[in-house]
Amino acid sequence: MASPPREQWSSRYGFMMAAVGSAVGLGNMWRFSYLTAENGGAAFVVLYLAITWLVGLPVLLAELVLGRGSQKSPIRALAHFGGDSWKPLGFVFVAAGFLILSYYSVIAGWTVRYALSGVFLGFDPDAGAHFVRVASGWDAFGFHIAFMMGTILIVARGVSGGIERTAMVLMPALFAIVIGLALYAATLDGSSGGYAYYLNTDFGKLSELDVWKAAAGQAFFSLSLGMGAMLTFASYLGRDTDLPQEAVIIAVADVGIAFIAGLVVFPMIYALNLSSDVGESTVGALFITLPKAFAEMGAVGRGVGGLFFVALVVGALTSAISLLEVVVATGIDGLGWTRRKAAIVFGTAIAILGIPSAWSTDILGAVDEVANNIFLLGGGLALSIFVGWVMTDPEAEVGSSGLVWLAIWRNLLRFAVPLFLGFVLYFAIPSTWETLVALF
């Protein structure tokens, strides 16, 4: 049986929205704000921005080159350029997709729940107790399953008919909401404390290795790097795309939304005098402190909070789609399955894998740490070595762009990026191990 021709994006803009949709998600709002709070505010932000440009961007371009150049899903793309011995790395990528989506969908389920209950019932003033109810047990499980079903439905409809269409409608809406909320937050009395906290750098923090680890993990998570998501999306691109330009646009949009989300979260928390809650932040910070703020704002809070959580749902959905697509593309390419079968079978398996994370936020936090600190940073390290040293003439696959930039890119991939990621992994591995041990 001849296989059908490979799917393609219907426009460059469509690809861009889908790729930005993958990057912009819970990472930009939930993860970025709690890590910023936990790691001392602005110093973390500066470090995260630096790592995004110097380490993340070169790896992003490497993924785009591998995908577009091979027109294949991750496992086969690696084999295409490096031979069969590189296939296991592709399996690791697919495993990372499984793992990340399994808990990502649980958090996405919380956001759906908050969006619905915030708009229709109002936010619960006893936000801490409410979070405990929402974030564990059957409640979390139910919304996790519902969210996975939505993701499966969209991915099953195909690259241009499902993924691209969804992103083209939802991403502009997300931008509008987040920018609107940042402007609104600026009008609140007392918001200035939030800006000060967010933007005044305490560079002393930079001596703490934990801050480096968190910033590196966040840069990779937020750009969807190190597990083949960007690679897979780029595999549906035509020859004529200017990859460096796409990479820069994706990175600008990603850090832009993360930064603006901070301009929503911190001023709002300070305006309502909840800053002491931020200090004791955990994975739940965004889901406890902010809803408390929304509850105190009364009717306005319902509107503002509702919009905030709708933006989170949108971001989560377009990112979850890209995670599932890595696995589904592999099922189509590697196993010869139909898209629909791959989406349903793998999507269901991922939903089941997420059950422990739905049951306990401690488990969820630990899985998140393993996924980021080990899988994504390790994946990024392997990708930089692959494109920097193994692949012959990756510059030719890039196409346009100046020779100087290409030389800088290649050398970053050869030396700076692997050294940096190796260094971070060196101390991320033992501390992640400790987290896992503490769980049992």
Name the residues that contact ligand PHE, by CB under 6 A.
22-23, 25-28, 100, 221-222, 224, 227, 229, 319, 322-323
Angle between helices 87-121 and 298-335 (to 10 degrees): 150
CA distance 77 to 155: 21
State the nearest-atom distance from the C-beta of 94 to ligand PHE, in Å.
Answer: 12
CA distance 388 to 375: 19
Contact (CB, 8 A) for 93 and 260: no
Spatial CB neighbours of 166, under 8 Å, sequence gap ≥ 6 = 21, 154, 317, 318, 321
Residue 412 DSSP one-character state: I
State the nearest-atom distance from the C-beta of 407 to ligand PHE, in Å.
Answer: 29
CA distance 213 to 217: 6
For ligand PHE, the closer CB: 71 or 232: 232
For ligand PHE, the closer CB: 221 or 420: 221
State the nearest-atom distance from the C-beta of 395 to ligand PHE, in Å.
Answer: 26
For ligand PHE, the closer CB: 235 or 319: 319
For ligand PHE, the closer CB: 197 or 221: 221
State the nearest-atom distance from the C-beta of 411 to ligand PHE, in Å.
Answer: 26
CA distance 371 to 96: 7
For ligand PHE, the closer CB: 211 or 314: 314
State the nearest-atom distance from the C-beta of 417 to ligand PHE, in Å.
Answer: 18
For ligand PHE, the closer CB: 319 or 357: 319
Spatial CB neighbours of 324, under 8 Å, sequence gap ≥ 6 = 97, 101, 151, 152, 155, 343, 346, 347, 350
For residue 359 the two structure tokens come to 């049951």
CA atoms within 13 A on the CB side of 32: 34
CA distance 320 to 152: 9
Cβ-closest position to ligand PHE: 27
State the nearest-atom distance from the C-beta of 234 to ligand PHE, in Å.
Answer: 13
SS3 for 104-151, per residue?
Answer: HHHHHHHHHHHHHHHHHHCCCCCHHHHHHHHHCHHHHHHHHHHHHHHH
State the nearest-atom distance from the C-beta of 222 to ligand PHE, in Å.
Answer: 4
For ligand PHE, the closer CB: 23 or 290: 23
For ligand PHE, the closer CB: 329 or 406: 329
State the nearest-atom distance from the C-beta of 213 to ligand PHE, in Å.
Answer: 17
